[in-house]
Structure 1
Amino acid sequence: MADFLLIISIISIWIAVFESIVIMTGAILFIRKQNQKKLVAPDNLEDFPTVTVMVPAHNEELVITATVEHILQMNYPKHKMQVIVIADNCTDNTAAKLKALQSNTSYEDRNFMILERTGTGGKSGALNHALQYATGEWICIYDADAAPEKNALLFLTQKAMEEPEKYGAVLGRNKARNRGQNFLSRCINLELVTIQRVHHTGLWQLFKLGTIPGTNFIVKASLIREIGGWDEDAITEDTAISFDILTRGQLIALAPQAEAYQQEPEQLSVYMKQRERWAKGNYRVVTDNIHHLFNRSSWRIKMQVLYYAASYFWFMIAIIVSDILFVSNIVYQIIALFNPNVVSPFQFQSDVYVYLVIAWALMYYIYVLQINLALASDIGQSNTRNFILSCISYFTYAQLFLIISIKAFISIITDKITGRQNKWYKTQRFG
């Protein structure tokens, strides 16, 4: 039985490696294609659509002023941009800071609305509340800690105009603005760069698959209203809305030039809470959409479900099982040196260990390779320190994913048993 479990785990790891190679191939093709294209910003923006930029903010006094100023200063026609900031159940000075900014003579001619909200539904509830006042053809979302670059909105809408009938949403890239703060923020930066520049680009290049992030994206206003707004019961509303968009036959396109900077956790406790919430949300999205594998849904939806199911269930379980079996057997072998009568409950054929070591070695190599591929495509990030960090992070930072996934799964079971409701967990900001 132990041999069987270990062999299944090894096969699963090999499949995960193959998946990574396929996605990296797509990323390389995308990078080559982008390098051959000349980036041209249009001179006339009068044909561009109207956009409502919405910013949900819950106790964000440390960052909200800088965020809204970045948004108001973006290179987009003023008469085509509406800005709505939702001070959601705030008990700090978020609303006061917004009103002070609104009274600034520099922005007196701007369509800038502040909504002070007291209600349920967290971020989704705040966005649904603002949707009632939105007048734009497209809705753009920025988190309260976002710092979009001047042309971010321009590049998002420019991509949307390439295929206006096909593209229901467009996502940009998010970068860690506090990436050099400490070891944790540097590791988060490696993860973020890899996801943005390998996974997103590879999946878009090969399969025209995209997933909305929590910030720096646009979605058709008519489409989001057709969907019924954001799911207020969803923990990760961005992933949930992505599946809603795909089920309506629309694509989520990638605009790689549309970049925004965001603040990442600098403390392990803050990081663990944030990622546990994300994991719980993605578990639920998988279970809510697993039925698409067995109906007549499009192949893209099926592939998206498989991608999430493999990442959060299959591959994770395979790695955990192989780790437990492997480490347990080593522990028993060490004990047996002092007490020969002790026999491990897990007995393996010697060649199984060889295949396991090969699988782990290849998985580690691919892990480091895809990080450095991503870093090489991002100006200023490919350096010796980041290379060393990519090698170390597998044995430190990457292992947190297993702990987070297990904790999230236990938390979901606890929620089901106790009826505990999920609240909007706001990631702690640093001034």
Structure 2
Amino acid sequence: MLDKTMLILQLCLAFIGAYQLLLTFFGWYRPKNKPQFPPQKTFAVLVAAHNEEQVVGALIENLKSLEYPKELYDIFVICDNCTDRTADITRNHGVYAMERHNPNLRGKGYAIEWMLKELWKRERQYDGIVMFDADNLVSPDFLIHMNNDLCSGSRVIQAYLDTKNPNDSWVTGSFAISYFYANRFVQTPRTNLGLANFLGGTGMCFESGLLKQIGWGATSLVEDLEFSMRCIQLGIKPTYNYDTKVYDEKPLTFTASAKQRLRWMQGHFEVAKRFFFPLLWQGIKEGSWVKIDAAIYSANVYNFFFGSILTILLWIRAIMPGWANSSLLFDINPIFLNTISIAIYVLLPLSMLIEKANGKTYKYLILYPLFMLSWWPITFYAFFTQNNKQWSHTEHTRVIRMDEMKKQAS
């Protein structure tokens, strides 16, 4: 019985790996050009901030200089349980400082939910709600593209995610490589195939009417994935805008990144438990591959969890022949499984090449396998602590402005 269970599990993981590899073939070409519209949509630009006095000023300056009519957007910084000068700096820059104090309900999801309720009370209402993190920088044309997408009928939009500090350390470089791969071979294929895209936590835009209709309600440790799944369940496809970028600051040290990734994985386990079977069943009943694909995506954390266990078994078998008698799919068709593994790794530098990554970032490919291996203990620990809903703050201190990024790129 155990032998059959192991074989079925391996077959499922092999199918999912092959499916994800197949999707990448639809990422080789860019999405079609979208219709252009004159600026007409109004936006509330929300910035989630907890003790971000070091970086919030640079983002506000960046947002105030966007290439969009200034009368069509307002900037609100959610100063969530701040004990530093975040609110003062925000007011000094002439934008709204929305101070929230609730130590019992901590985290970005709760802060957004509170902010939206405050926003609906205001005299001025907006067509779209845009969300950023305080450590971000934004392409000058960001609102132009969000305006185009809303006018084209999109209701939930994710912009291209890039890294603000890719060459600060091997950790930030590894995150940058992951972003290049995700933009080109995870998000772009789904756009080209008409599947649902997935929110990335920042650089998000929402139709106000939708948020008023269904509420926010995403208060898990991965509120972006949770809201994506809620939308897809309701038949609303989040879309992806390849043409405008948000630059996210990644933690410099391995310890800080491990803490952040642990929070993500704990949240991913929760979302998978809540949405995998309902979405899968809905997709089968409705004949909707959009929902089936979303269900598979929601379960990626379990794919990674069980995949790492099987990989470790393979390694032990290689070192200690005869250690385990269970049938491993690798024994039946090693060429197939090795091809999938090698192909996925080869796609990393290819995605960097296509996305025109800075030449300095390529050197981090050497340590990237170590970065990926580090997800294993994090995922294991997250599996056994997934009921821990305590939000943890990632400190941001790298103050970079858009003109500095342009110099680095050149």
TM class by smaller structure: 0.7 to 0.9
**Equivalent residue of 1:133, what SS?**
helix
Shift of 1:175: 0.9
Structure 2 contact 51–85 (Cα < 8 Å) conserved: yes
In the aligned structure 2, how far is the partner of 1:24 from the partner of 1:399? 22
Q: CA 1:320–1:264 in structure 2 vs 1: closer, same or farther (change >3 Å)? A: same
Structure 1 contact 2–346 (Cα < 8 Å) conserved: no
In the aligned structure 2, how far is the partner of 1:352 from the partner of 1:235? 35
Partner of 1:107: none
**Equivalent residue of 1:275, what SS?**
helix
In the aligned structure 2, how far is the partner of 1:15 from the partner of 1:402? 21
Partner of 1:155: 145
Structure 2 contact 305–380 (Cα < 8 Å) conserved: no
In the aligned structure 2, how far is the partner of 1:351 from the partner of 1:216? 41
Percent of aligned pairs with the same amino acid: 19
Residue 291 of structure 1 aligns with an amino acid whose one-letter code is: P
Structure 2 contact 200–225 (Cα < 8 Å) conserved: yes
Q: CA 1:306–1:350 in structure 2 vs 1: closer, same or farther (change >3 Å)? A: closer
Structure 1 contact 9–322 (Cα < 8 Å) conserved: no
In the alignment, structure 1 residue 118 sits paired with structure 2 residue 108: no
Partner of 1:378: 355
Partner of 2:60: 68
Structure 1 contact 175–192 (Cα < 8 Å) conserved: yes
Larger mean CA deviation between 122-131 and 274-283 belongs to 122-131
In the aligned structure 1, how far is the partner of 2:260 from the partner of 2:199? 17
Q: CA 1:392–1:95 in structure 2 vs 1: closer, same or farther (change >3 Å)? A: closer
Structure 1 contact 2–325 (Cα < 8 Å) conserved: no
Structure 1 contact 171–255 (Cα < 8 Å) conserved: yes
TM-score by length of 1: 0.82
In the aligned structure 1, how far is the partner of 2:131 from the partner of 2:349? 30
Residue 312 of structure 1 aligns with an amino acid whose one-letter code is: V
Residue 52 of structure 1 aligns with an amino acid whose one-letter code is: A
Shift of 1:351: 9.6
**Equivalent residue of 1:397, what SS?**
helix
In the alignment, structure 1 residue 15 sits paired with structure 2 residue 15: yes
Structure 1 contact 20–366 (Cα < 8 Å) conserved: no
User: Which residue among 190, 201, 208 is the counterpart of 2:177?
Assistant: 190
Residue 22 of structure 2 aligns with an amino acid whose one-letter code is: V
Structure 2, unaligned runs of 5 or more: 399-410
In the alignment, structure 1 residue 83 sits paired with structure 2 residue 75: yes
Corresponding residue pairs, total: 387
Shift of 1:288: 1.1
In the aligned structure 2, how far is the partner of 1:348 from the partner of 1:291? 32
Shift of 1:224: 1.0
Partner of 2:203: 216
Partner of 2:249: 263
Structure 1 contact 156–217 (Cα < 8 Å) conserved: no
Partner of 1:314: 303
Shift of 1:321: 3.4
Residue 112 of structure 2 aligns with an amino acid whose one-letter code is: L
TM-score by length of 2: 0.86
Q: CA 1:302–1:10 in structure 2 vs 1: closer, same or farther (change >3 Å)? A: closer
Structure 1, unaligned runs of 5 or more: 103-111, 334-343
In the alignment, structure 1 residue 236 sits paired with structure 2 residue 222: yes
In the alignment, structure 1 residue 59 sits paired with structure 2 residue 51: yes
Q: CA 1:4–1:327 in structure 2 vs 1: closer, same or farther (change >3 Å)? A: farther
Deviations 1:3-54 (A, max 9, x none): 65664465345324422332111101x32x55xx5x8976x42xx2111111
Residue 323 of structure 1 aligns with an amino acid whose one-letter code is: T
Structure 2 contact 41–128 (Cα < 8 Å) conserved: yes
1:34-53 equivalent positions in 2, closer than 5 A? 34=32, 37=33, 44-45=38-39, 48-53=40-45
Q: CA 1:50–1:280 in structure 2 vs 1: closer, same or farther (change >3 Å)? A: same
Larger mean CA deviation between 137-146 and 235-244 belongs to 235-244
Partner of 1:428: 395
Residue 45 of structure 2 aligns with an amino acid whose one-letter code is: V
Partner of 2:403: none
Q: CA 1:362–1:91 in structure 2 vs 1: closer, same or farther (change >3 Å)? A: same
In the aligned structure 1, how far is the partner of 2:100 from the partner of 2:134? 15
Shift of 1:118: 0.3
In the alignment, structure 1 residue 276 sits paired with structure 2 residue 265: no
Residue 355 of structure 1 aligns with an amino acid whose one-letter code is: N
Residue 150 of structure 1 aligns with an amino acid whose one-letter code is: P
Deviations 1:203-259 (A, max 9, x none): 121133111111101001111121122333x11111111122223322211111120
